[in-house]
Amino acid sequence: MIQKYHLLFVHGWGFSKNFWEPVSCLLNGFSKEYIDLGFVNNISTSSDDIYELSQRIPNTIAIGHSLGLLYLLKQFPHTFHHYIAINSFLRFSKAENYLSGVPSRILQRMSKGIDNDVYSVLSQFYQQCRYVGKVPNQMNASALQTGLEILETEDFRNVLPSITDRLTIVSSKNDPVVSSDMTGGSFKSHPILWIEDNTHALPIFQPEICAKIIKDIALKS
């Protein structure tokens, strides 16, 4: 069965498009595309490819993990048919009106650490996510620092009213990176699908649940 919607996946900080493999293999029959933010393995999606993707926005269900959602909201000025936010948020860093966010000093310390030992910073982050994959041999320190800047500065909470009828939020109940207070503070009263999980990597540890949610949205649309 050929589906009428494209699926567009964007991974979070410190990962690559390979992050989506456990979910992707459960979505046969769908047209799938991936944006790689170039954090590892020196591979990133070209600007030409991103422009081409932008031409299909009305027929796209966009799935963002963590930072991936911010990238989708920042890069594409138009509205996708549907957004799926997994382990994600509309703002990451702490602010006066967002006290549950992560203090900027932590992100700045990670950025400085990348200059000295990028392997150690990424290894510690993987451990915090409870992700057991190996740290890649090649890492793009500049791209990782740019990602941290996005996490520190970007705030898309004001976008929520314009996408609330086309947004599905999927979160781990005990996410070690994005607390439940952060999730609630980002998405306010919007319904959240809470999954019994203690990682920051639902697509890795709960791929069947993620794939079913995506399928259900595509079939109901």
CA separation, residue 56 to residues 70, 101, 113, 141 (Å): 19, 33, 39, 31
Q: What are phi and psi of 195, to 5 degrees?
A: -105, 135
Q: Is residue 42 assigned to a domain?
A: yes
The number of folded domains in the chain is 1
> Does 3 have pLDDT greater than 70?
no
Residue 161 DSSP label: H
pLDDT computed for residue 221 by the predictor: 66
| Percent of the chain clearing pLDDT 90 (strictly above) | 80
Q: Is residue 1 assigned to a domain?
A: no
Q: Is residue 140 assigned to a domain?
A: yes
Q: Is residue 10 assigned to a domain?
A: yes
**Residue 100 domain boundaries:** 6-220
For the segment 52-83, what is each residue's pLDDT rounded down to a tens digit?
Answer: 777 777 789 999 999 999 999 998 877 899 99
For the segment 134-191, what is each residue's pLDDT rounded down to a tens digit?
Answer: 898 899 999 999 999 999 999 999 999 999 999 999 999 999 999 999 999 999 999 9
Give the confidence band of 1 by pLDDT, cuts at 50, 70, 90: very low
pTM for this entry: 0.94
The CATH number of whichever domain residue 17 belongs to comes to: 3.40.50.1820
